[in-house]
Amino acid sequence: MEIIRYKSGMDVDALLNRGTTDRTDVEKTVADIIENVRSNGDRALKEYALKFDGCEIDNLAVTDEELNKAYNETDKEFIAVLEQAAENIRQFHSLQKREGFTFKKENGIILGQKIIPIEKVGLYVPGGTASYPSSVLMNAIPAVIAGVSEIVMVTPPDKEGNIRSDILAAAKVAGVNKIIKSGGAQSIAALAYGTESVPKVDKIVGPGNIFVATAKRQVFGKVNIDMIAGPSEILVVAEPTANPKYVAADLLSQAEHDKLAAAVLITTDEAFAKRVSDEVDRQVKLLPRYEIASSSIENYGKAFIVDSLDEAVELANEVAPEHLELAVDNPFDLLERVKNAGSIFLGKNVPEALGDYFAGPNHTLPTGKTARFSSPLSVDDYIKKSQFIYYPEAELEKAKDSIAFFAEREGLSGHARSVTTRFEEE
């Protein structure tokens, strides 16, 4: 890890910059895929399954028989862990559920807001180099709690045309309604526009590669999306009394995700930073995903030395990380000052993986400094709000002159007349 003595005014964005990718070819490829799926539906999805996944698929939808078989054949220990994690996620997210309100005034005016679940949601679950049943739980359970009536999951099949059993088991535990054997940009297009096998949805959630992210960006407006997730990030603020072995392991927990993942340490002691760096070098060799993790650390692993924990939190707020660990003796003393972070892990024995899998808060988080203005996935992502107004005629008459004056001020006489005409003599 590169060790940097932080100075006020330093261009931290430049130091942590993970580069920009020319997306021109990707944008064109994705646009062509979307148009093909719009025009040819299931046939296009099956052609892409053969081209990208190397398998022939007759039936794109996972049958109940396939789902139950996968669940029953998954080892009971893992099912128990899935169930326990799911319960923790339900408990946490149930507290996010909100009710509408009605405000009745004494003069008979009634104002209010309705909370309405989004009707149909599409959930993308990545395949590729790793399997993520945890993402199924984190994305589907809040939707169920919100009251979404149909959750359609898309995920890439393997070369035999099957979905990994862990993914299917998690889908059954979480309450997914329909599962489609399709991944990549083509599955996003199918969710946005619908095909013979894939229902058209109202919102698409879930992380994916650059083609999936680009497809989500291109269909936004036709449907809503949760966010455009970038490479994973972890920032650990650690006191010198923290265990460098634990800190190093936590940094590597995100470095193993992606060669573009960023693992950052902020501490007040350079000798401690060196010990953490040495531990990272030692532990990375133990990881099966060594090539990915070592590339991430070599290019984007940084350790910043600051003068105080107060300065550490200020710097953390500037970075606005996806995951923020406060590996200090009194983390609640710092919590109030944290302004920009996706998820915050408090104390020396609270690794980021606790949040990824088990504790209950969501692990779908804002990346790339978007924690400055956006939030973790929640029940709120699966609802919409409508407001309502009722005025008795007498109350509208009292307000008519003010409304008309305001409308005329904006040059909208038609707006004014829609009120005043009600009180003109016939």
Q: Which of 322, 325, 352, 363 is catalytic?
A: 322
Sign for the CA dihedral angle at 38, 41, 43, 49 comes to positive
Q: Is 63 exposed, middle or buried (0-12, 13-18, 19+ CB in 10 A)?
A: exposed
Tokens read off for 135: 């993402």
Neighbours of 239 (CB within 10 A): 17
Active site residue 322: yes
Alpha helices in 237-286 (DSSP H): 244-255, 270-284
For residues 110 and 104, the answer to whether their CB atoms sit within 8 Å is yes
Report DSSP letters for 74-135, one per residue: S-HHHHHHHHHHHHHHHHHHHTT----EEEE-TTS-EEEEEEEE-SEEEEE---TTS--HHH
Single-letter amino acid, residue 302: K
Catalytic residue among 93, 257, 323, 363: 323
For residues 209 and 185, what is the distance between their CA atoms, to the nearest angstrom?
9
How many other CB atoms are found less than 10 A from the CB of residue 266?
A: 25
Q: Tokens 């319960």 — which residue?
A: 87
Looking up tokens 């539906």, which residue turns up?
A: 41
Residues 6+ apart with CB under 8 A from 51: none
Can you say whether residue 146 is alpha, beta or left, with left for phi > 0 and alpha for psi between -120 and 50 degrees? alpha
Measure the CA–CA gap between 153 and 168, rounded to whole angstroms. Answer: 10
| C-beta separation of 309 from 332 below 8 A | no
Q: What is the DSSP letter of 143?
A: H
Strands of 233-238's sheet in order across: 2-5, 301-305, 262-267, 233-238, 323-327, 343-346
User: Residue 16: phi, psi to the nearest 5?
Assistant: -100, 0
Backbone phi, then psi, for 203, in 5-degree steps?
-150, 145
Residues with catalytic annotation?
Answer: 322-323
